Structure 1
Amino acid sequence: MGAGKSTMGRKLARLLEADFIDTDIYIENRFRKKIAEIFQEEGEEVFRKREKMVLDELTGYAGAVISTGGGLPCYHGNMETMLSCGTTIYLRYTAEELARRLLAAPRNRPLLRGLEGDALLQYISDTLASREAFYLQAHLVVSCMQVCCQEDENELAHYILTLLQDPLFLSQCAQRNESAPGEELLEEGFWPK
């Protein structure tokens, strides 16, 4: 929800010379409806079931960078599926920063329709509180509070690429799948300046 998952996913896919798949766009193409229309006409539960269906389809797609909607990891055992099929990354921001980012770049987001100011911040805070337990299971948790421009995004993408090509890091990811995922591997100021 405003963390830049699709932007970072595209950058990583380019660097890895891999395919990029955004699950929201995939759903819109597969079901020939905008996400907002699915929410409005069929409801959130139908949308969440379609997310699960699409995730299950994409698990066999080796070597792709996949960006999911913010709610996808939180339903139908999706986080467990993601952890078992690839390396997961959580781009971590505060609720205040997410609200600022969302106001700066408005998009059609069904769950945010009509929200602004304090109401938007409260919704984001509540949603983040309910989702973060899922997000923190990611193999890599990246505090992004210092990411403030495209140059920072590019540096972060290169740093993540370095980790994804590091056999030791990949081994740690595999071990975390078997034990206790969710440690914050990168703190604020994580990438070299």
Structure 2
Amino acid sequence: MKNIVLVGFMGSGKSSTGRRLARKLGYDFIDTDYAIEEVTGLTVEQIFAKHGVKRFRGEEALLVSKLADKENLVIATGGGLVLNPQNIEKLKANGIFILLKASPETICKRVKNKRTRPLLARGNLKHKVTKLLEDRQDAYQMADYSVNTDHLDPDTIVHIIYQYLLERGVIVRNH
């Protein structure tokens, strides 16, 4: 079975939705940021601080190469993973891309107490979120389906994605 690849900006609901969706489908769940932390023994913030964004993106690309051949995964990607076209190409070969979208206002509410996120650590939060969303807008266009998560809880998002996957024949209903 194809993998389900959740993409979108930080705070859009990829991790919380991904865990629930994996449980519903009986798939394994992978959060790429946490997987990179496990492999490197460093937090995302530490990788950014000690080695820079380039090293982090390199770790991401390595992980994508490992995940691309696997099946029955729900993969919650780091927000910037889609910036590398090779990552998209590798994951698309055996994956359905679901974009979780949220407004800058919603994202700011969801991440305001998580200022450890390296790309949002300093400066005006809403300005940074808006700018990064604009920068990534084109990269998110490759998604097969998108869900606006602004006013939805994770269980509702899972239901919407599940229905889409059923309708597309990607999955067969569990009895």
Place the TM-score, normalised by the shorter chain, in its bin: 0.7 to 0.9
Partner of 2:122: 114
The answer as to 2:166 corresponding to 1:161 is no
Partner of 1:100: 109
Q: Give the percent of matched residue pairs that are identical in Structure 1 and Structure 2.
A: 34
User: What displacement does 1:169 show?
Assistant: 5.5
> What is the distance in 2 between the residues matched to 1:77 and 1:93?
25
Note the 1:3-22 alignment, pairs <5 A: 3-22=12-31
Code of the residue aligned with 2:11 in structure 1: it is G
Q: Secondary structure at the match of 1:91?
A: strand
> What is the distance in 2 between the residues matched to 1:138 and 1:88?
5
Structure 1, gaps ≥5 residues long: 171-193
| Correspondent of 1:145 among 145, 150, 170 | 150
The answer as to 2:135 corresponding to 1:134 is no
> What is the distance in 2 between the residues matched to 1:72 and 1:127?
13
Greater Cα offset, 88-97 or 74-83: 74-83
Partner of 1:190: none
The structure with more radius of gyration: 1
User: What displacement does 1:160 show?
Assistant: 1.1
User: What displacement does 1:107 show?
Assistant: 5.4
> What is the distance in 1 between the residues matched to 2:48 and 2:82?
18
User: What displacement does 1:17 show?
Assistant: 1.1
Partner of 2:3: none
| Correspondent of 2:74 among 65, 70, 84 | 65
Relative to the length of structure 1, the TM-score reads 0.78
> What is the distance in 2 between the residues matched to 1:20 and 1:155?
18
Matched residues, number: 162
Q: Secondary structure at the match of 1:128?
A: helix
The answer as to 2:86 corresponding to 1:86 is no
Relative to the length of structure 2, the TM-score reads 0.86
| Correspondent of 1:123 among 112, 120, 128 | 128
Partner of 2:5: none
Tell whether the 8 Å contact from 2:115 to 2:121 is kept in structure 1 after alignment: no
Supply the RMSD in Å over aligned alpha carbons: 1.7
Partner of 1:36: 45
User: What displacement does 1:52 show?
Assistant: 0.4
Deviations 1:47-106 (A, max 9, x none): 101100001111112001011100011125222222222011111111122112212x42
Q: Secondary structure at the match of 2:142?
A: coil
Structure 2, gaps ≥5 residues long: 1-9, 171-175
> What is the distance in 2 between the residues matched to 1:100 and 1:57?
34
Question: Going by fraction, where is strand more abundant, 1 or 2?
Answer: 2
Tell whether the 8 Å contact from 2:12 to 2:102 is kept in structure 1 after alignment: yes
